[in-house]
Amino acid sequence: MKTVGIIGCGQLAQLLAMSAYQLGYKTLCFAQEEECPAKRLSPLFIGKLSDVDAIKKFSEQVDVITVENENCDVDHLRQCEKIKPVFPNPDIIQIAQDRLLEKNYFQKLNIPTTQFFEINSLDDLKTEDGFLKTRRFGYDGKGQVRVSQYSDLALMWNALDKSAIFERFVDFEAEVSQLVARNNSGDIQFFPLIKNRHQEGILRESQFADYVGLEKMAQDYARKLVESLNYVGVLAIEFFVHENQLIANEIAPRVHNSGHLTIEGCNVNQFEQHLRAIFNLPLIKPKIIQPVKMINIIGEWPQNLGRFSRVYNYGKLIKKNRKLGHGILVTQ
């Protein structure tokens, strides 16, 4: 029985382990401590990615390696890659880690983005309407501040105190994500376009989108990306919808929070498809089997859990703005 090694031990690793079991694979999750969501469904390898001996021991116990989060040290992943295949490859993860590299790559492929500028000092900043973001390690609204003509630029720059990127504000009508899978044989399959609602930079809910014409556009952009990168696995691209056009915001080189609804909503879910891709199995063409809405459970558990057709509890301690789980509603 083959084993997939997962760098990370959060809820995405947990859900990958669930699908791995259903496909007949074992998992081993690289974790820095025992208490983590993945522990519920997978054995753990406890260690530090900065420890070369630990990387070697972990890699020798698995057949292929993947990541649940792009915010990991690329040099450590390259150490893993010397022993076992890593999907997606570290060069792709390096692009996704850096908002400036990411935006430049979009433009290289003629994928529309908002206007952006590299910011290396306070002198580079102007009081324009937009967002000042750290180039690296920002997620769920972290590492970014809103800028306007009334902003105290010195205060904002000092709060980040690192190389950054400024993105001009987009007055979008909606936010959508396109999930795409590609295996090593070059087979590409697209999930239905997903509409998302964020609050305070954190995804709150997702459902299948109904934008005539935009789904084909999203798939064309996604195909450009995965083919140019020789990508293997599931990748998510987040877009703004503006005047019936798509503006690329960011990529996630992994399974994605918005794709949780594919477990109940599609004939194949994103986690199974990702595993199929990294083991170079035939991919399944995703189809909607029922209309569903995914609602993230954030910060505290609601009283009315009975309204959900299914609830996923990640096993995390309660904390403000922490994703504790998600619920699925069947919508008609």
Residues of the chain with CATH 3.40.50.20: 3-86
pLDDT at 138 over 70: no
Residues of the chain with CATH 3.30.470.20: 174-330
pLDDT bucket at 119, cuts 50 / 70 / 90: confident
Residues of the chain with CATH 3.30.1490.20: 115-168
Q: Tell me the three-class secondary structure of the chain, residue by residue.
A: CCEEEEECCCHHHHHHHHHHHHHCCEEEEEECCCCCHHHHCCCEEECCCCCHHHHHHHHHCCCEEEECCCCCCHHHHHHHHCCCCECCCHHHHHHHHEHHHHHHHHHHCCCCECCEEEECCHHHCCCCCEEEEECECCCCCCCEEEECCCCCHHHHHHHHCCCEEEEECCCCCEEEEEEEEECCCCCEEECCCEEEEEECCEEEEEEECCCCCHHHHHHHHHHHHHHHHCCCEEEEEEEEEECCEEEEEEEECCCCHHHHHHHHHECCCHHHHHHHHHCCCCCCCCCECCCEEEEEEECCCCCCHHHCCEEEECCCCCCCCCEEEEEEEECC
In one letter, which amino acid is 117? F
pLDDT bucket at 161, cuts 50 / 70 / 90: low
Residue 65 near residue 7, CB atoms below 8 Å:
yes
Model pLDDT for residues 197-251, shown as the tens digit of each residue: 999 889 999 999 998 889 999 999 999 999 999 999 999 999 999 999 999 999 9
Q: Name every residue whose Cβ is closer than 8 Å to that of residue 75 and which is 6 or more positions away in sequence.
A: none
Residue 75 near residue 86, CB atoms below 8 Å:
no
Report the C-alpha gap between 279 and 20 in whole angstroms: 11
- The token pair at 30 is 């690289």
Residue 180 near residue 189, CB atoms below 8 Å:
yes
The phi and psi torsions of 150 (rounded to 5 degrees) equal -100, 5
- The domain defined by 115-168 carries CATH number 3.30.1490.20: yes
> Comparing C-alpha atoms, which of 319, 315, 316, 306 is closest to residue 327?
306
Model pLDDT for residues 31-82, shown as the tens digit of each residue: 999 999 999 999 999 999 889 999 999 999 999 999 999 988 999 999 999 9
pLDDT bucket at 99, cuts 50 / 70 / 90: very high
Tell me the CATH architecture of domain 3-86: 3-Layer(aba) Sandwich (3.40)
Average pLDDT value over all residues in the chain: 93
> Comparing C-alpha atoms, which of 144, 175, 318, 323 is closest to residue 242?
175
85 prior amide bond cis, ω within 30: no
Instruction: List C-alpha distances in Å: 82 to 94, 95, 97.
Output: 17, 20, 21
Instruction: Pick 174-330's CATH classification: 3.10.20.90, 3.30.470.20, 3.40.50.620, 1.10.760.10.
Output: 3.30.470.20
Report the C-alpha gap between 166 and 157 in whole angstroms: 11
Share of the chain above pLDDT 90, in %: 80
Return the minimum-mean-pLDDT range out of 39-43, 83-87, 108-112, 164-168.
164-168
Evaluate the CA torsion angle 200, 161, 51, 319 in order and state its sign: negative
Residue 49 near residue 65, CB atoms below 8 Å:
no
